[in-house]
Structure 1
C-alpha cells in the first residue's frame, strides 16, 4: 500500500465487467500509473476530469508500463486496511 498524489492525465472508459472499475491514468512526477478504482465497492468519482489533482492510497503493483494502483476502497470483509481517493476534498472509499 502506498499514499501519493498526482494529476489525472487521461480518463479511460469504465470496465463494466464485474467487478466494475473506474479507470484513469495518473501522472506522478515523471511517471504514470493506471488507477483501477472498484466502483462496486466504492462510489464512482463522477466529477473527475483530466488535470485534476488527487490524493490516493492504494496497492501499487509494478509493471513495465509504470504500474497499476488498485485497492482504492474499503475491505468489505474487514481483513485488511482499505484504500481511498480524495478528490476536491471528498473521500471515496
Structure 2
C-alpha cells in the first residue's frame, strides 16, 4: 500500500510540474500503466470511508453522476457527485472564489481530482481542490477535459 501511495504522489508531482510550465501532457496514458495504483486510490478512499477518517489528502478519478446547485453560503462552491470505479460516491466541493468554475462539466463526464477528504455517511466529501493563497495548506486541483482547475 505504501508503494502505491508513493507512486501516486510521484505521479501527481510530475503532473503538477508539467501543468505548471504549460507542457502539453495527458495523464490518461500514465494512469493506464498504473491501473493497480489507480484502483489503490479507490481502495484508499474506501478505507477512509470505512474507518471514518477525515482531513487526509486524496487523489483519484470518477464519473460525474449528479450536478448540484452551487453552495453560495460563505465561500462559494461548485458541487457535484462522482462515482469511483469501485462504486463509492464522493461529493466534490470546489471553491469557486479561489479557483475557476468548471462551466463545461456535465453528468457523464470523467474528472480527476486531488484534495482533502472529509468523512460523511454518504461516501465523503473532497474539498480543497484549489490553491491555498496563504500557502498553509497543500494545494489541490481538478482536471476536466485536459484542463487543470486550481
**TM class, shorter-length:** over 0.9
Given candidates 74, 86, 92, the residue that maps to 1:35 is 92
SS in 2 for 1:3: strand
Correspondence for 2:140: 83
Aligned residue-pair number: 93
Residue of structure 1 in register with 2:70 after alignment: 14
More strand by share: 1
> Which of residues 102, 107, 125 is equivalent to 1:50?
107
1:23 to 79, 83, 86: 79
Please give the TM-score of this superposition, normalised by the length of structure 2.
Answer: 0.61
Q: Structure 1 residue 80: deviation in Å?
A: 2.3
Aligned-partner Cα distance in 1 for 2:61–2:76 = 23
Which consecutive residues of structure 1, in runs of 5 or more, have no partner in the other structure? none
Please tell me whether residue 4 in structure 1 is matched to residue 80 in structure 2: no
Between the two structures, name the one with larger relative contact order (CA 8 Å, sep ≥ 6).
Answer: 1
Task: Please state whether the residue corresponding to 2:117 is helix, strand or coil.
Answer: strand
* CA distance in 1: counterparts of 2:139 and 2:82, whole angstroms: 20
Alpha-carbon deviation of 1:18?
Answer: 2.3
CA-based RMSD: 0.7
Distance in 2, matches of 1:19 and 1:3, equals 23
